[in-house]
Each structure stands twice: as structure tokens, then as C-alpha cells.
Structure 1
Amino acid sequence: MAINVVWFKRDLRLSDHEPLKAAISTGRPTLLWFNFEPWLVNDPHYDERHWRFIVESIRDINRKLKAYNTQIYVTYGDTVEQLQIWHQQFSIESLYSHQEVGLLNTFDRDKQVASWCRQHHVNWFESPTGAVQRGLNSRQQWQKHWYETMKAPLATPDLARIQPVKAVSVDYRTLPKSWFERRPSFQYGGPAAAWATLNSFLEQRGRAYHYSISQPIRAQHHCSRLSPYLAWGNLSLRECYQATVDKRRETGWKRPLNAFLSRLHWHCHFIQKFESETAMQHAPLNRAYENYPYRSDTQVEQHLKAWQQGKTGYPMVDAAMRCLLQTGYINFRMRALLVSFLCHYLHIHWQYATTHLAALFLDFEPGIHYPQIQMQAGIIGTNTIRMYNPEKQAIEKDPTGAYIDQWVPELAELPLEIKHAPYRITPMEAQMYGFKLGEDYPSPIVDVDDYRPIARDTLYRIKKSVAGTKEAQRILKRHVVSR
């Protein structure tokens, strides 16, 4: 019998799902499929926290699909080889999926799938992801397209009409046990958790959104916390947008929700930038920065390791990294601080941030990740270069010291002013509080003025150079949104 295959990737939901809707509407038997690919599982951008989130998402979806006598069938192996197996077993008429704005290796895989489909006369129908447009060379009318997409009716599959295909899933016992272990410090995957999170944000948590987003301790509660659900497709951006617009009509919600809606717009903006210039994965968007003179001395590895472990001697930097290691989440300002500290205060190449942070961010989204890291590293050349002073950020964004207390507990008993900058402790204070800098907490691995002036002068010199200016003009022409 001829069948459809719906290939789930970063779209792990049953609602507002154009490929699923289209496949069901044909009336043809439809197989729902997710494939774990060994080369992607082993890619340094990913960590078990991502695969656990995916497993949680699939299990949640399958609980709902049970009522329709079907499920998402899970396999582990090469995607083209698995398609060949399905084709030999059932004869695939059409393959349905969303376009994936992923890493270069997933794009190469998609080209292999496209080749296989042509060779075997299988129709492959790819639906856009959000408002991202494949092959776009300019932003002419992009904003209009974005709003039209967000306001369009949801693509609601009629699950009652699905014609199930019975297949065989991988034996879950052959997958790593850690993928199935509940980790309470991480957000739980799946559409049910996504909707619960969105509803709690729109019912109460979001009221303080606009003045809480920069403070990490407040952001944990008042930010939407939807990013992993959007990254893995438990919730579509359009569903989130429309629910937010509906809520904005209520008294008292306009200001915080306007701020939130602007960030939903940024979501597609950055992914579109990456989609249009995927070389950002390996090279600066602004080519004038390709030969930026980062450090190459013998201490680079030691300093990088201290940054990765949250042992730099700067409490706010260390708190952010330790929180990320343990929960997969930090707010936007702390993400910017981590990248700025690595690139500006340690003067270490921005590429060292990419895979390390990607593997830690539960909401790792390639299309947002690379443009953001390059922007925070100051190598785009079209934005203000921001160098976040770690002590100033501690004082302003953690005024009570609660965030530092939570993630750097070795400083919890110190007075606030020392907690923010333990490297300023006097010998008398150290004796009074029984605290030994360098033993109880690391001494700063660098002085803030060791590399910051070098980074500042070099970044601005390149930005103002003929090559830097020319590249900035090219970038603005291609990526500035026009109506």
C-alpha cells in the first residue's frame, strides 16, 4: 500500500502543524516518524538534556495519539536508510515535514533526503517554519509577511481522520537511560508543559515581564520560559503570538505583552538572518572580522576551562554559568554577559562559546544562537559594541545578591558589597568572615583591564575601517527589515 510519512524534527506538536494537516487531508494511510541520528546525537552542539526533552515531548504526544490508534514511531539510525526501509515495507507516496533551519550538517542531510526522494519518485512537501523564508536575499516586505503569517488561521490537523500505519519503533532499552530520567531542575518537554507554561505566563507571571527580563532571579519566574518549547516546536510561534494578542486586549497587560511580542518578532528575524547566511556557523557575518587577533597564549586553555566551569572569580559570571549547567536556562542578559566576558575580558575566540553554550542551552536554536553570539562578541559591525562589566552587572542585576547566593553558595555568608566583588575584600574583612580568596572562592583569573582595552580598541578599529564599513553596509542592505 502507498502511504504518507510525516517526518517530525523541530516541530514536536500536533497543533498548528501544516505537514500533519496536509498528510491527513489526503485520506492516505499516514505514518508519523521521528529519527534519532547518531551523527547528530554525537554533535558537540547537543547534550543529553536535548534528547531527554525530545523523548519527553514524543511521549507526551503519543499519550494523545493513543486515542487515535497511532503514535510517533521512533527510529535510531541514518535517515535515508530508514526512509528506504519504510519505502520497501510500505511504498512511500509522499513525505511531509517542516523546513529545518538547523546546522550545516542537517542541511546536508536534507539535501540527501531530497536526492533520495527524486530518485524514488517520492513527493516531499516542506512547509515553512514560522515566518522564515528559504532562499531569501532581501527583507523587502519581510515584516508584512511576518504579520500575515502570525495572523493566519492555525493549521489544525483533523486527527479523527488519520489513517494509522502500524510500524515498529526502536527498543527504548537500547537508548541511553539518561534520556528517560526525570531531572526536576530542567523544564519538562512536550505540548502539555508548553501550554501550561504559556497559560501561566499570560494569567499572571507576565505582568512583571518588562521590568524583570534583565534580572536573572526575577526572570526565572516572570519571563515567559517558552524558549525551549518554541525551539523544539512543542508550541508554534503563531500559537504563542495569537494567544498573546488576545490577552493584550485585557486591561493592564498592554505594556508587558508589547515587550514580549517584540521578542517574538526578533525570534524569526534572527533565524531568517542565519537562514540567509549559514556561513555564520563557521565565520563572522562581517567578513572584516575574519582575522581578528584573539589570544593564542598558553593560558587560553586554562582560562577557557575556568569560564566553562563557572570558576572565573567573578561571581555574576560564575553564577550564570553554574545555573546554566544545572538547569539549561539563563535569561538574555546573563547570556550576553557570558559571551562578552569570554570574548572581551578573556579575549578568547567567539567560536569557543558556540558549542559549549549550545550544549547547555535547553532552548538551543541554531538560527538564533549564532547571530546572537556574534552580536554579543561585537563582530557584526552594525550594532553598538557592548562590553558587560561583571561587577557592574552584579550590582545592578542582582541587587540583593539572591542569584549569587543560589549559584555561588560559598559567598552566601559574606556582606552584599563583598559578595558582588570578593576580590576587593580587605585582609581585616577576610579574617572577620573567615574567608580565604583563592581557597574558598577563586581569585579572578584576569583583571578586568587586562584585555578589555585591547578588545575595545581592536573591535572599533575594524568596525571603522573601510572593509568593516563596507561589510556593515552589505549586512544592513540584506538584513534590515522593510515594510
Structure 2
Amino acid sequence: MNAPAALVWFKRDLRLRDHAPLAEAGRFERALALFVIEPEWLGSPECDARHVRFLLDALAPLRDGLAARGLPLLVRIGSAVEVLTELRREFAFTHLLSHEETGPGWSYTRDRAVAAWCRAEGVVWQEFAQTGVVRRLRSRAGWAGRWAQRMSAPEAVLPGGFAAPPGMAPSPLPTLRDLGLHGIDARVPPAGERVAWAMLESFLAGRGRDYRHALSSPVTAAEGCSRLSEHLAFGTISMRCVHQATEAVIRSTPDRTLAHALRGFAGRLRWHCHFMQKLEDEPAIEFRNFSRACDGLREDAFDRERFEAWCEGRTGFPMVDACMRQLRATGWINFRMRAMLVSFAAYHLWLHWREPGLFLAGQFLDFEPGIHWSQMQMQSGTTGINTLRIYSPAKQARDHDPTGEYVRRWVPEIGTPAYPKPIVDEREALAFARERLFGLRGTAQAKREADAIQAKHGSRRSGLPPSGMRVRRTKRPPVGQGELF
């Protein structure tokens, strides 16, 4: 019988620090590391070349850091089961070590296939939690306490070195061209674990001092938010490390303004996992309405011309167009403006959330499926339980771009004949949307479904221990990845 050997399968966890599968691999006589660039991901509608560029940039320092510890990182292109089958002929691993993943439909299908392959091959697949998401959760009761307990646990400790099988060397990384990808329309920021930690440290050292105020405006959010969302999405830093570092500063800083700001940020870290838990518990929400009473509400009324105008930032509503153009150019925008974009698509343009959601997933460098699809439905009014929030683009401009600086930057042709007229009459569009949605919510079916959805997915605050996070809060809307970070 072969001696136990471990294969560490990296997915959305591209780091060395606080990496449970790596810590476990140190117990084995032989170990290898693997990252698979999967055609299923590259061909998925939510994948964009900007995501692949960021991924490759994060893999390079990871590969070098692992090599320095004696663990080669193999980078293979292909479907996961095919790659694992081929690799096992070269390296007879007995254990597959990875983090759990709450991903889109293609990765869910992939993981089921890998689980079946492991059973057939006699390979032990050990999965480790890396966020506050609880696998096979039976009830939301006590979830907040479990989150706090997991985030307060000690970090996984990286072994001093590994014993790799002879003849195995780290893989060269493919280029975008090698992968059939060519142009990138957005700027892609630096990636990697060191970059993630530098971003966190600058935020905690004072950049986040105005966080509570700065996060709402696209003028101030780029600097005032933590900007950790893409790093958490790709796992170049762990949620636990962010939580613990934030709590440490809250406890130790004499700067009361900074501490107050960081308490707001710390509270939102739990919301990050809260939304991911929804997709973990009900993967179908990526494809269908939370509330089935909403089925047929918008699906048959989809207007392709309106959708394309929204995607291109030429709706004739300046704040909407400015936000879309910033997003397309940079891959990031703050949460309030994300919510406004989705609200506008859902209520003003009466578009079903699925196609706008796929488009935005490709634009967001920090695309996190659990947060994304929950928020798409929340801002579209199809969860059945959340308050209907219809954003006024004009009010958002008055509140968050009072001088017009932001709009002029991203829509330089405003005020000229080149800028289009509004593609819908706002008053008529919103009157129609309100009539349809408020009428629907009053039906017996919608009320029954709302009770069931709240019981399964609703937030529970019970079980949180006293900490820097436990402060008195005024009522506020739930938040997602952009405003969070």
C-alpha cells in the first residue's frame, strides 16, 4: 500500500497564511499543490478576462512562496476530474485537501463530479471551511454565534516545509493568449497576498477613518472603502484574518473616530457570509426567483434594447450612465451605486434580474456568487421578504455627487446633443412597477412564501458574543460586497 500522500487543491484561496489544507498537508510524507484552470469557468457567462488576469497575477507569488517551502504548484488546464485522473498516474495521492466553495452552478456541478470520482478511486477528500458559511446548515438559529466562533479561532499554521515527490517542478503560468483570451477593457489592480495585506493595513491604519460616510458616494468610496472585496473573492487573504486584525485595532486604537468607523466595517463582515449562506443553502437562487410568486413577473417582458442601453451606459439618466461606465472601466464601484444600477434595471426598465446579473458578474472583479445573486434579487424585489427599494438616480446624484464632478468625469458629453434622451419616462415606469409589485405582495401565495423564506434565510443576531462588533446600531439596509469593502 502506498504511503499517505496529499494533493492540495487551490481554488478561491490563493494564499499561504491561514490556509487549513496547507496546514493539513504538512502531516503527510509527500505533498503536491494544484490549481486547475477549468474550461467550464472560462466559458461561463460570469467569467471575464479581467478575472483571469487577476487570478494569474495572484498565482505567481503563490507559486513562488510554495516553492520556497518545498511544495511545487502544478497549474493544469482542463476539467477537474480529467486533470485529477491524469495527475494521479504521476503522483499517487491518497488525500485531496481543499477549502469548501460556495460557487455558481458550474462549480457546484464540478464538486459533485469530483466527490463521485474520489469515492470511485478511493481518495479521501477533506474539505475545510474558510468563511463563515456553514455546510449542510439545518437552521439559521445560532448562525451568528457560529460565525463569531469560527472567525475568532486561531489561524491555521503553515508548516515549515513540505516533502514533494522527486521530479516535480512548479508549472509555468499560461498567458491570456494561451487561454484564448485577448483584450481586457478594464484596469486590473495588483493581485496577491502581499497586496491584500497592504490594502488591509492601510485601511486599518487610518484610510478607513471616514468609512461610514465615504462608502456611499462613488466620489469618496474608492479611497474610503477597504477595497478588499476582490482579495476576499479570490482568497488572497482570509476572512478570519481580516476579522481578527480589525477587532485588534478596534480594541487598541486611541482614535475613537477610527474605532467607530471600523466597528461599522466589522459588522459588515458578517453580512458578507450571511448572503453567501443563502446560495449555499439554496443553490437554485442563481437561476430562479427566491419567491416563486414572482415567476412570470418580468420574464416575458424583457426589452433587449433597454438592456443594451443600460449595459453601455447610454440610458439618458446621467448618474446611472456614469456608474456603469466607471464599472466597465475599473471593474469596481461602491455598493450603493451597484444597488442603484440594479434597481434601475428592475423598476425603471422592468428587466428580469438574470441577464443583468450575468452582465454585472462579468464586470465586477470582486464577483462573489452568493452575495451577487442574493443582492440581484433583493434589489429587484423578488426575495419576497425585503423592503422594495426603488432608487432615484436624480436623488443619488444630489446626495452623492452634488457638484456634478463625478458625472462630468464619466459622461463628458452630458449637456450636448451627443448625450441621449431618457429611454423611459420615469414617472410612468415607476407607477407601473409599484402597481405590479405591491399588488403581488398582497396575495396569499406571496405572504405564505415570505414566511417560509424568512424562516430559512432570514438574519438571526442571537448568539453573538460581546466584542468590538457588538455596538448599538440604528436600523439600516443590508449591504453587499461593494459597500462592505
TM-score > 0.5 by shorter chain: yes
1:255 paired residue number: 260
Provide the rounded CA distance (Å) in 2 between the counterparts of 1:208 and 1:47: 32
Provide the rounded CA distance (Å) in 1 between the counterparts of 2:174 and 2:351: 41
Residue deviations 1:218-240 (CA, integer Å, cap 9, x gap):
00100010000001101111000
Provide the rounded CA distance (Å) in 1 between the counterparts of 2:86 and 2:235: 27
Provide the rounded CA distance (Å) in 1 between the counterparts of 2:354 and 2:86: 38
Residue deviations 1:47-98 (CA, integer Å, cap 9, x gap):
0111111101111212323422434211101111111111111111100001
2:364 paired residue number: 361
The residue type paired with residue 44 of structure 2 is: D
Q: 1:100–1:467: structure 2 CA closer, same or farther, 3 Å change rule?
A: same
1:285 paired residue number: 290
2:445 paired residue number: 467
2:480 paired residue number: none
Kindly indicate whether the alpha-carbon contact (under 8 Å) linking 1:27 and 1:161 is maintained by their aligned counterparts in 2: no
Provide the rounded CA distance (Å) in 2 between the counterparts of 1:184 and 1:292: 34
Provide the rounded CA distance (Å) in 2 between the counterparts of 1:178 and 1:318: 31
Kindly indicate whether the alpha-carbon contact (under 8 Å) linking 1:295 and 1:347 is maintained by their aligned counterparts in 2: no
Q: 9, 15, 18: which is aligned to 1:16?
A: 18
Q: 1:163–1:182: structure 2 CA closer, same or farther, 3 Å change rule?
A: farther
Aligned-partner SS, 1:81:
helix
**What TM-score do the two structures reach when normalised by structure 1?**
0.90
The residue type paired with residue 31 of structure 1 is: L
Q: 1:306–1:173: structure 2 CA closer, same or farther, 3 Å change rule?
A: closer
1:478 paired residue number: 456
2:313 paired residue number: 310
1:74 paired residue number: 75
2:150 paired residue number: 149
Kindly indicate whether the alpha-carbon contact (under 8 Å) linking 1:52 and 1:180 is maintained by their aligned counterparts in 2: no
The residue type paired with residue 375 of structure 2 is: Q
Deviation (angstroms), 1:293: 3.9
Runs of 5+ unmatched residues, structure 2: 464-485
Query: Higher helix fraction: Structure 1 or Structure 2?
Result: 1
Residue deviations 1:7-34 (CA, integer Å, cap 9, x gap):
000111111111111111x232111110
1:221 aligns with 2:226: no
Residue deviations 1:120-148 (CA, integer Å, cap 9, x gap):
11110001231111111311211110100
1:162 paired residue number: 162
Provide the rounded CA distance (Å) in 2 between the counterparts of 1:281 and 1:184: 25
Over the matched positions of the two proteins, sequence identity in percent amounts to 40
Provide the rounded CA distance (Å) in 1 between the counterparts of 2:183 and 2:206: 31
Deviation (angstroms), 1:254: 2.2
Moved more, 237-246 or 445-454: 445-454
Kindly indicate whether the alpha-carbon contact (under 8 Å) linking 1:273 and 1:367 is maintained by their aligned counterparts in 2: yes
Residue deviations 1:161-213 (CA, integer Å, cap 9, x gap):
21124156366258547979999932222111111111111112100000111
Residue deviations 1:337-390 (CA, integer Å, cap 9, x gap):
110111100011111211100000000011110001100001112111000011
The residue type paired with residue 458 of structure 1 is: R
2:401 paired residue number: 398
Kindly indicate whether the alpha-carbon contact (under 8 Å) linking 1:48 and 1:178 is maintained by their aligned counterparts in 2: no
What is the root-mean-square deviation of aligned Cα atoms in Å? Answer: 1.9
The residue type paired with residue 277 of structure 2 is: Q
1:127 paired residue number: 128
**What TM-score do the two structures reach when normalised by structure 2?**
0.90
1:347 aligns with 2:350: yes
Provide the rounded CA distance (Å) in 1 between the counterparts of 2:174 and 2:438: 53
Kindly indicate whether the alpha-carbon contact (under 8 Å) linking 1:294 and 1:347 is maintained by their aligned counterparts in 2: no
Residue deviations 1:264-317 (CA, integer Å, cap 9, x gap):
0101100011110111011111121112145637xx111111100111111110
Provide the rounded CA distance (Å) in 2 between the counterparts of 1:131 and 1:350: 27
2:174 paired residue number: 172
Provide the rounded CA distance (Å) in 1 between the counterparts of 2:19 and 2:183: 28
Provide the rounded CA distance (Å) in 1 between the counterparts of 2:234 and 2:175: 24
1:264 aligns with 2:265: no
The residue type paired with residue 314 of structure 1 is: F
Aligned-partner SS, 1:207:
coil
Aligned-partner SS, 1:10:
coil
Runs of 5+ unmatched residues, structure 1: 412-421, 423-434
Q: 1:181–1:340: structure 2 CA closer, same or farther, 3 Å change rule?
A: closer
Q: 1:262–1:194: structure 2 CA closer, same or farther, 3 Å change rule?
A: same
Provide the rounded CA distance (Å) in 1 between the counterparts of 2:186 and 2:321: 22
Deviation (angstroms), 1:408: 1.2
The residue type paired with residue 191 of structure 2 is: G
The residue type paired with residue 265 of structure 1 is: R
Q: 1:403–1:177: structure 2 CA closer, same or farther, 3 Å change rule?
A: farther
The residue type paired with residue 461 of structure 1 is: G
Kindly indicate whether the alpha-carbon contact (under 8 Å) linking 1:324 and 1:360 is maintained by their aligned counterparts in 2: yes
Q: 1:170–1:42: structure 2 CA closer, same or farther, 3 Å change rule?
A: farther
Provide the rounded CA distance (Å) in 2 between the counterparts of 1:462 and 1:111: 37
1:275 paired residue number: 280
